[in-house]
């Protein structure tokens, strides 16, 4: 049996789409604000383990 060829890394995921990454740019802030306006329970992705 062969190994999986694509494994995601949580560090990269957070760098790209974490809270701090969203807050850095105007567009990211717009995303957060629109999710707040829609009363989303989760603003962003959640990781259930430490990085």
Q: What is the pTM of this model?
A: 0.71
Predicted confidence (pLDDT) per residue in 30-46, tens digit: 999 999 999 999 898 77
Total number of residues shown for the chain: 51
Token pair of 46 as six digits? 């959640």
Q: How many CB atoms lie within 10 A of CB 22?
A: 19
Express each pLDDT in 12-27 by its tens digit.
888 888 999 999 999 9
């Amino acid at each position: 049996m062969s190994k999986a060829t694509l494994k995601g890394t949580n560090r990269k995921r957070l760098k790209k789409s974490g809270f701090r990454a969203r807050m850095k740019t105007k567009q990211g802030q717009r995303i957060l604000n629109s999710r707040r306006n829609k009363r989303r329970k989760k603003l962003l992705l959640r990781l259930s383990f430490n990085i």
